[in-house]
Structure 1
Amino acid sequence: MDSCKSFVLNPCHVDILSPSYSNETFIEQTKDQGPLSMTSSYQSPEEASQSISQATVTLYNTGVPQTLTHTPTFLIDYWFQTVCATWNSFDSAKNLNRSVALEAFAYSEGLACSLQSMAAAYLAEYLPHFRGIAISTTLAAIQAIRRELSKTLCPQVLPRHLLLSMFCIGTSACWTDPLQFGLPFLKETKTILQSYKQSKHLLSKDDQDALLFFNNSTMYWDMLCSIIDAQDPEIIDPPATSSAMPSQPSSSQSSLHPWTGVSTEIMELFFRSILLCKGFRARMTHDHRQSSRSLQAALYYIKEARELYQRLKSFPIPAEQDICDTGDTWTPKSHLVQIAEAYRLAATAHLYQTFSDLRNQDTSLNGGSLVDAEYRVLELGSNIIRILEKIPLASGTRCIQPLLCLTAGILMKFDVPVINPQTHTPKLLSDLLSADLRSAPTAAHQDPPFGDIRHNTLLSPVTTKRCIEVSQGRRFVLERLSILETSLPPKPIRVVKQLVQAVWAAYDGQGAGSQVHWIDIMAKSNLRTIFG
Structure 2
Amino acid sequence: MQNKKGYALNVRWSQKHQTRPNTGESSLRQKKAKSRTTASSNSVVEGFHQMNGWLDPASQLDFLMPAEIFSIDNLSQGILGVESSPRINNNNILGSPGGNLTVWTLPEDSGSTFEIEQPMGVIGQSFGDSASHPIFQSLNPTQEEQSLVQARHPCLDPHRRMSNTPTTLSEYFFREVITLYCSWDSELNVMRNIIEKMWQSSGVLYHTIQSMAAACLSKDFPHLLRVAREERSQALQLVRDRPQEMEKQVMLLSSMLLGHTSSWLSPHNLATENFRASQSILDEIATENSDSSEMSFFRDTMDYWAMLLVYLTDKNELGGYHREERIGPPNVTKPVEPHPYSGISQDMVRALTDTGILIFQYRKHMSTMKFMTESDLDVFRTALREGRRLERTFLAHQVPSAVHTKNPGDPKTPLRHLELMDEAYRCTGLLQLYRVFPDLLNERYSPWDKDHILRPLPAHQVPTKKERQQWLTHFALYILGILEDIPFESRTRSAQPFVMVAISGELRQNSHDLQGSEVSITDPGLLSIDILSIEVARARKFVSSRLSAYTHILPLRKSQIILELINQVWSAVDNGQDDAYWLDIAYEKNLGTMMG
Q: Partners of 2:180 and 2:275 in 1: how far apart? A: 20
Residues 156-167 of structure 1 mapped to structure 2, 5 A cutoff = 159-167=248-256
Q: What does residue 481 of structure 1 align with? A: 547
- Distance 1:284-1:174 versus aligned 2 partners, 3 A rule: same
Q: Does 1:172 align with 2:261?
A: yes
| 1:521 pairs with 2:585 | yes
* Distance in 1 (alpha carbons) for counterparts of 2:372 and 2:57: 72
Q: What is the aligned counterpart of 2:536 among 470, 474, 482?
A: 470
Cα distance change of structure 1 residues 240 and 197 upon mapping to structure 2, 3 Å threshold: closer
Q: Which structure 2 residues correspond to residues 127-526 of structure 1 after superposition, within 5 A?
A: 127-147=221-241, 149-151=242-244, 159-200=248-289, 208-230=292-314, 254-363=336-445, 365-368=458-461, 369-370=463-464, 371-416=466-511, 419-420=514-515, 451=520, 454=523, 457-459=526-528, 464-510=530-576, 514-526=578-590
Tell me the TM-score normalised to structure 1 length. Answer: 0.80
Q: CA deviation at 1:125?
A: 1.3
Mapped partners of 2:399, 2:172: distance in 1: 35
Deviation at 1:356, TM superposition (A): 0.7
Change (3 A) 1:450 1:387: closer
Q: 1:15 aligns with which of 6, 9, 13?
A: 6
- Equivalents in 2 of 1:328, 1:268: separation in Å? 25
Does structure 2 retain, via aligned residues, the 8 Å contact 1:104–1:111?
Answer: yes
Residues 221/403 of structure 1: CA separation in 2 closer, same or farther (3 Å cut): same
Match of 2:209 in 1: 115
3-state DSSP class of the match of 2:429? helix
Question: Would the alpha carbon gap of residues 14 and 525 (structure 1) be closer, same or farther in structure 2, given more than 3 Å must change?
Answer: farther
Please name the residue that 1:9 is paired with: none
CA contact (8 A) 1:178 1:529 kept: yes
Question: 1:9-158, aligned counterparts within 5 Å?
Answer: 15-17=6-8, 29=53, 34-37=58-61, 38-40=63-65, 41=67, 42-45=69-72, 50-53=113-116, 66-147=160-241, 149-151=242-244
Q: Structure 1 pair 114/392, CA: closer, same or farther in 2 (3 Å)?
A: same
Q: Residue 593 of structure 2 aligns to a residue in which SS?
A: coil
Call closer, same or farther: CA 1:152–1:286 in 2, change over 3 Å.
Answer: farther
Using the TM superposition, give the Cα deviation of residue 106 of structure 1 relative to its aligned residue in structure 2, in angstroms: 1.1
Output the CA distance in 2 between the equivalents of 1:128 and 1:110.
Answer: 24
3-state SS of paired residue (2:579): coil
Take 2:561 and 2:327, find their aligned partners in 1: how far apart are those partners? Answer: 33
**2:52–2:161 CA contact under 8 A, matched in 1:** no
CA distance in 2 between partners of 1:48 and 1:125 (Å): 39
Unaligned runs of 5+ in 1: 1-12, 234-238, 422-428, 430-448
Aligned to 1:445: none
User: Does the Cα contact within 8 Å between 1:14 and 1:109 map onto a contact in 2?
Assistant: no
SS in structure 1 of the partner of residue 364 of structure 2: helix
Higher-Rg member (1/2) = 2
Q: 1:166 to 1:348 in 2, by over 3 A?
A: same
Structure 2 CA distance, aligned partners of 1:479 and 1:276? Answer: 32
Q: In 1, distance between residues paired with 2:444 and 2:487?
A: 34
Tell me by how many angstroms 1:81 deviates: 0.5
| Counterpart residue identity of residue 295, structure 2 | L
Check 1:472–1:73 CA distance in 2 against 1; reply closer, same or farther (3 A cut).
Answer: same
Rounded to whole Å, the distance in 1 between the matches of 2:544 and 2:525 is 26
Matched residue type, 2:526 = T
- Relative to 1, partners in 2 of residues 1:450 and 1:395: Cα closer, same or farther, differing over 3 Å? closer
Amino acid corresponding to residue 575 of structure 2 in structure 1:
G
Instruction: Label 1:74 to 1:225 Cα distance change in 2 as closer, same or farther (>3 A).
Output: same
Supply the distance in 1 between the matched residues of 2:533 and 2:328 (Cα, whole angstroms): 38
Residues 412 and 470, structure 1, Cα contact 8 Å, conserved in 2: yes
Question: CA–CA distance in 2 between the matches of 1:378 and 1:284?
Answer: 25
TM-superposed deviation, 1:256: 1.0
Partner amino acid, structure 2, of 1:175: W
Residue deviations 1:299-350 (CA, integer Å, cap 9, x gap): 1111110111011111101122221111111111111011011100100111
For 1:44, the aligned partner's letter is: S
Describe the shift of the 1:246–1:385 C-alpha distance in structure 2 as closer, same or farther (beyond 3 A).
farther
Q: Supply the distance in 1 between the matched residues of 2:51 and 2:191 (Cα, whole angstroms).
A: 21
Tell me, what secondary structure is at the counterpart of 1:255?
Answer: coil
Contact residue 414 and residue 508 of structure 1 kept, 8 A: yes
> When the two structures are superposed, what TM-score results if normalisation uses the length of structure 2?
0.72
Q: Is the CA contact 1:93–1:99 (under 8 Å) kept in the aligned structure 2?
A: yes
Describe the shift of the 1:17–1:44 C-alpha distance in structure 2 as closer, same or farther (beyond 3 A): closer
- The offset of 1:193, in angstroms, is 0.6
Higher helix residue share: 1
Question: What percentage of aligned pairs have identical amino acids?
Answer: 24
Cα contact 1:30–1:67 (8 A) shared by 2: yes
CA distance in 1, matches of 2:243, 2:525: 67
Of residues 47-56 and 270-279 in structure 1, the stretch that sits farther from structure 2 once superposed is 47-56
Alpha-carbon distance in structure 2 between the residues aligned to 1:453 and 1:407: 39
In structure 2, what residue type is equivalent to 1:39? Answer: L
Return the alpha-carbon distance in structure 2 between the equivalents of residues 319 and 26 of structure 1: 53
CA distance in 1, matches of 2:204, 2:289: 25
| Contact 2:442/2:459, CA 8 A, preserved across alignment | no
Change (3 A) 1:216 1:500: same
Matched residue SS, 1:362: coil
Matches of 1:27 and 1:48 in 2, distance apart? 27
- Which secondary structure state, in structure 2, belongs to the residue aligned with residue 220 of structure 1? helix
- Would the aligned equivalents of 1:419 and 1:453 in 2 still touch at CA under 8 Å? no
Alpha-carbon separation, structure 2, partners of 1:48 and 1:146: 43
In structure 2, runs of 5+ residues without a counterpart are 10-42, 73-105, 121-136, 141-145, 150-155, 447-457
Count matched residues.
Answer: 472
Q: Following the alignment from structure 2 to structure 1, what is the Cα–Cα distance between the partners of residues 185 and 51?
A: 21
Instruction: Tell me if structure 2 keeps the 8 A contact 1:503–1:518.
Output: yes
Shift in Å, 1:56: 5.8
Distance (Å, rounded) in 2 between the aligned partners of 1:318 and 1:311 = 15
AA partner of residue 162 (structure 1): M
Cα shift at 1:284: 2.1
| Contact persistence 2:259–2:275 (CA under 8 A) | yes
